[in-house]
């Protein structure tokens, strides 16, 4: 037997006898249209679009109002974000707690808001990661938010009921600064959307103040104060045409680019360093897009991307480049295929009187200015009413104090409060409010001192009432108050512009090779002729062409050349060290002189000790080509010529076997290209000079130890070696003698300059001839040099001065260096012609 389910009905309930069915036919299309319109209006008005007056959406306005009502001011402690969310959700915003918390998080993010309105404590997220849950974070109002909620208790705005009519909330905030323009807005409604760019607070306030003082101002005048958006993350805005369109019509677009610089990130590599990213773009997104573009072969020339961002230095994204690629061309590819360049579309849609409108800059400012004029007028009326009421009470107290004994007698003799009130009103001609106030006073407030305070308060109230009436009676005075308050807010909360505005920065088209290049830079650096320089301070650099070195008027200490080699950008050269090693150096690895214009600054190069793997105590002597015969000279007078027979599978090798090791061991002091028609020159510490034909030295293999070059005494040593051409009319010898234990005021050095052709050649392994007569007290030569002139002297301050072809006394001694520099005259001018024309065969040195 089937059993009935518990609670089921056994039969249909009986309907009343007079019941009539009434079925209403409804058109589904009409019902859907009506319902959808109601939904759309709800989304537009109550959710997605900001109010043009305070720039806030309803949820944002409710968050700030509730936090202000809870007393979460900047000078008080933070509270749990969950508590704020709960208060907002329970009293004003009956929606999801996640929606409220997400809105509060955005108000606290400095990379999203130009002037953050919430001071967050904890993990409020980043451009790449979301925030922590509301139970983990804390919040309070930021200082700028106080300007939005100021004067709410003075009837400056209308209050409307909440969703269940138990509480009230402001329909709009007073907004002491143009929040909509300063912080921007974004939202998607039904059938429309808004996307407004942030601006600089000081600039917007300046434009608003100009409009307050000049209501008929034009857009051109306002744009002098507000030239364009100012994004929280900085960066650069390229192209101002779209910004002007947006300011005129409410719609436009502009491009934002990261702030980048080309730097030498390692001794051998250049890199693109990113310090600012476009608005709402995070470093992790950029790194991911760069890797994707490299894998897809859209971007070439990148070896690695490193994120060095930290709290101390801020954003720093290093994009390392492969050698041989043009940094500007790689950057152009990155702008095209990665978020290092983004487009921002402006769509200024906001609510005006409850209706969505697309507005330009002038309309936005006028709506805000009208709002502030209304707020200040209502606040002034409220304060005027309060002060009039207080003055009325004070005047009543002053009347009562004049006959205080009678007032006390009337009160004591009255049986009820109402009777005392009536008698006071009749006898002293008081109003009911004045009589009630007197009845509520304590006796101690009716002293003589209180009378003086009341009279002072009366005078102050009368002054304030006159001032408030003046504001209400004059539109110009009202506008002056609004302008002054805007100025105070800008001074308190404003800061400098972060985003640079560029009229245009069009990057040229990038071509793959030089043969297909038109006007733009090639992606890969072409194998063009160039120079590689080694300065006397150990800086390595290369030029971008083979232009002869022009002489700058004021030089840096790194600009004195020790060695230079003519080569090509994709070639290789050798770097010879004092330990007799040669290190293969790809020219592309050497930093190029930026903006090479014939007067390079070698300080832009890289230190040789950082560029090369040198042992302790080992120094770089000079540079040499790998395809020519070179000559080396050592401190102990050994000379060697070397055939260009170098291993192809090694990066370094020995070019001479040196005698001895350690402190007393031999070392290389000079190196240079040595054709057969050149002469090899030695200059020793004891002022001996020897030059002999290079052809007299047979080229040897890499491991050979060389042959005797110059004959030295026991205490002598070679201080200079290098190839030269005595037949060159500009070949000179410069020697500088040193005086030991010179007395104060006495010259420490003497200098002599002599044409090389005046010294006769001698055979190899001889002692040579004297090149400078040493005077009493001079212990020997401190410096010596021979080569293609004119020689130049570079002072400690960087002033380069050309030396004459001959200098010194007739007896062969030198003259004091200070006297020689005085005789040379002023610093060499950059406009003077230069006789120096270096060539691959005869490079010059300093």
| pLDDT: which is higher, 677 or 726 | 677
- Residue 823: the pLDDT is 52
Backbone φ, ψ for residue 83 (5° rounding): -65, -45
Domain at 43-196: CATH architecture: Alpha-Beta Complex (3.90)
- Residue 46: the pLDDT is 67
Could you tell me the fold of the domain covering 529-824? Neuraminidase (2.120.10)
- Tally of helices (H runs) and strands (E runs) in the chain: 19, 39
Q: Which of 101, 136, 279, 596 is catalytic?
A: 136
| 8 A C-beta contact, residue 264 and residue 318 | no
For the cut 60, the answer to whether the pLDDT of residue 395 exceeds it is yes
| Stretch 470-497: mean pLDDT | 95
- Residue 104: the pLDDT is 97
| Stretch 206-235: mean pLDDT | 95
Longest dimension (CA), the chain: 148
Known active-site residue 368: no
| Stretch 434-438: mean pLDDT | 90
| 8 A C-beta contact, residue 209 and residue 487 | yes
For the cut 50, the answer to whether the pLDDT of residue 840 exceeds it is no
* Top CATH class, 231-359+497-524: alpha beta
| Stretch 745-773: mean pLDDT | 85
Highest mean pLDDT of the ranges 34-43, 434-443, 468-477: 468-477
* Domain ranges for the chain: 43-196, 231-359+497-524, 376-493, 529-824
| H or E element at residue 790 | none
- Residue 837: the pLDDT is 34
For the cut 80, the answer to whether the pLDDT of residue 3 exceeds it is no
Task: Report helix, strand and coil shares of the chain as percent, to nearest 5.
Answer: 35, 25, 45
Q: What is the pLDDT of residues 803-832, one digit of tens each?
A: 776 777 766 777 776 666 555 544 332 222
- Kindly indicate whether the domain formed by 376-493 is annotated with CATH number 1.10.268.10: yes
Strand order in the sheet with 259-264: 259-264, 270-276, 317-321, 302-307
Question: For 202-206, 381-385, 694-698, 824-828, which range has the lowest pLDDT when averaged over its residues?
Answer: 824-828
| Stretch 309-318: mean pLDDT | 89
| 8 A C-beta contact, residue 803 and residue 753 | yes
Residue 41: which pLDDT band, with cuts at 50, 70 and 90? low
- Residue 827: the pLDDT is 35
Q: What is the pLDDT of residues 47-60, one digit of tens each?
A: 788 999 999 999 99
| pLDDT: which is higher, 124 or 527 | 124
| pLDDT: which is higher, 710 or 665 | 710
- pTM exceeding the 0.85 threshold for the entire prediction: no
Distances (CA, A) of 550 to 108, 596, 598, 655, 829: 57, 11, 5, 33, 11
| pLDDT: which is higher, 528 or 669 | 669
Average pLDDT for the chain: 85
| Stretch 781-808: mean pLDDT | 72
Question: For 27-31, 451-455, 547-551, 565-569, which range has the lowest pLDDT when averaged over its residues?
Answer: 547-551
Look up residue 644 and give its two tokens.
């260009």
């Amino acid at each position: 037997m089937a059993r009935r389910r518990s609670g089921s009905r056994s039969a249909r309930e009986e309907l009343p006898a007079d019941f009539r069915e009434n079925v209403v036919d409804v058109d589904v299309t009409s019902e859907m249209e009506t319902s959808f319109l109601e939904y759309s209006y709800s989304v537009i008005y109550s959710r997605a679009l900001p109010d043009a007056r305070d720039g806030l959406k309803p949820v944002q306005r409710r968050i700030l109002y509730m936090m202000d009502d809870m007393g979460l001011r900047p000078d008080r402690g933070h509270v749990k974000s969950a508590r704020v969310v709960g208060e907002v959700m329970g009293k004003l915003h009956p929606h999801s707690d996640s929606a409220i918390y997400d809105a509060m998080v955005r108000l606290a993010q400095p990379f999203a808001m130009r002037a953050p309105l919430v001071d967050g404590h904890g993990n409020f997220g980043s451009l790449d990661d979301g925030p922590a849950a509301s139970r983990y974070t804390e919040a309070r109002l930021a200082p700028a938010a106080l300007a939005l909620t100021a004067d709410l208790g003075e009837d400056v705005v209308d209050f409307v009921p909440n969703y269940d009519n138990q509480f009230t909330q402001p329909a709009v905030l007073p907004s002491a600064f143009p929040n909509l323009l300063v912080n921007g807005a974004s939202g998607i409604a039904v059938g429309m959307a808004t996307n407004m760019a942030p601006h600089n607070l000081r600039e917007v306030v300046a434009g608003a103040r100009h409009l307050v003082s000049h209501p008929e101002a034009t857009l051109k005048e306002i744009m002098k104060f507000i030239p364009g958006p100012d994004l929280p993350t900085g960066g650069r805005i390229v192209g101002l045409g779209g910004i002007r369109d947006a300011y005129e019509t409410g719609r436009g677009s502009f491009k934002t680019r990261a702030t980048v610089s080309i730097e030498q990130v390692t001794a051998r590599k250049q890199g693109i360093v990113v310090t600012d990213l476009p608005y709402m773009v995070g470093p992790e997104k950029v790194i991911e897009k760069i890797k994707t573009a490299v894998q897809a072969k859209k971007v070439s020339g990148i070896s690695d991307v490193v994120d060095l961002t930290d709290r101390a230095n801020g954003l720093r994204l290093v994009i390392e480049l492969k050698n041989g690629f043009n940094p500007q061309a790689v950057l152009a590819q990155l702008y095209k295929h990665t978020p290092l360049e983004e487009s921002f579309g402006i769509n200024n849609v906001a609510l005006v009187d409850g209706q969505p409108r697309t507005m330009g800059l002038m309309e936005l400012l006028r709506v805000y200015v009208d709002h502030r004029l209304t707020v200040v007028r209502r606040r002034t009326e409220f304060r005027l009413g309060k002060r009039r009421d207080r003055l009325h009470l004070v005047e009543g107290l002053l009347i009562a104090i004049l006959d205080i004994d009678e007032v006390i007698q009337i009160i004591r003799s009255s049986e009820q409060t109402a009777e005392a009130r009536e008698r006071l009103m009749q006898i002293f001609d008081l109003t009911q409010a004045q009589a009630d106030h007197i009845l509520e006073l304590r006796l101690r407030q009716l002293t003589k001192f209180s009378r003086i305070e009341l009279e002072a308060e009366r005078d102050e109230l009368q002054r304030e009432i006159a001032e408030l009436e003046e504001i209400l009676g004059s539109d110009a005075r009202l506008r002056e108050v609004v302008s002054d308050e805007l100025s105070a807010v800008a001074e308190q909360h404003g800061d400098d512009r972060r985003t640079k505005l560029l009229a245009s920065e069009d990057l040229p088209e990038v071509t793959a090779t030089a043969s297909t290049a038109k006007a733009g830079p090639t992606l890969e650096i072409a194998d063009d002729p160039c120079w590689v320089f080694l300065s006397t301070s150990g800086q390595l650099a290369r030029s971008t062409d083979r232009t002869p070195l022009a002489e700058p008027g004021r030089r840096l200490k790194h600009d004195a050349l020790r060695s230079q080699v003519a080569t090509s950008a994709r070639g290789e050269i050798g770097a010879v060290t004092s330990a007799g090693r040669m290190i293969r150096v790809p020219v592309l690895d050497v930093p190029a002189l930026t903006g090479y214009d014939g007067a390079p600054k070698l300080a832009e190069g890289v230190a040789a000790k950082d560029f090369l793997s040198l042992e302790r105590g080992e120094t770089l002597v000079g540079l040499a080509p790998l395809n020519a015969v070179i000559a080396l000279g050592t401190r102990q007078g050994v000379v060697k010529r070397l055939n260009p027979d170098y291993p192809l599978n090694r990066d370094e090798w020995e070019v001479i076997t040196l005698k001895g090791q350690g402190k007393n061991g031999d070392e290389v002091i000079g190196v240079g290209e040595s054709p057969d028609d050149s002469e090899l020159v030695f200059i020793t510490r004891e002022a001996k000079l020897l030059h002999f034909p290079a052809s007299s030295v047979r080229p040897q293999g890499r491991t050979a130890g060389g042959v005797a070059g110059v004959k030295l005494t026991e205490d002598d040593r070679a201080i200079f070696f290098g190839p030269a051409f005595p037949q060159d009319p500009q070949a000179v010898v410069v020697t500088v003698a040193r005086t030991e234990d010179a007395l104060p005021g006495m010259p420490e050095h003497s200098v002599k300059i002599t044409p090389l052709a005046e010294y006769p050649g001698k055979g190899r392994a001889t002692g040579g001839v004297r090149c400078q007569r040493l005077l009493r007290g001079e212990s020997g030569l401190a410096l010596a040099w021979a080569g293609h002139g004119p020689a130049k002297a570079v002072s400690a301050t960087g002033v380069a001065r050309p030396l004459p072809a001959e200098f010194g006394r007739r007896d062969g001694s030198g003259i004091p260096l200070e006297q020689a520099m005085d005789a040379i005259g002023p610093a060499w001018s950059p406009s003077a012609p230069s006789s120096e024309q270096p060539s691959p065969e005869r490079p010059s040195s300093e």
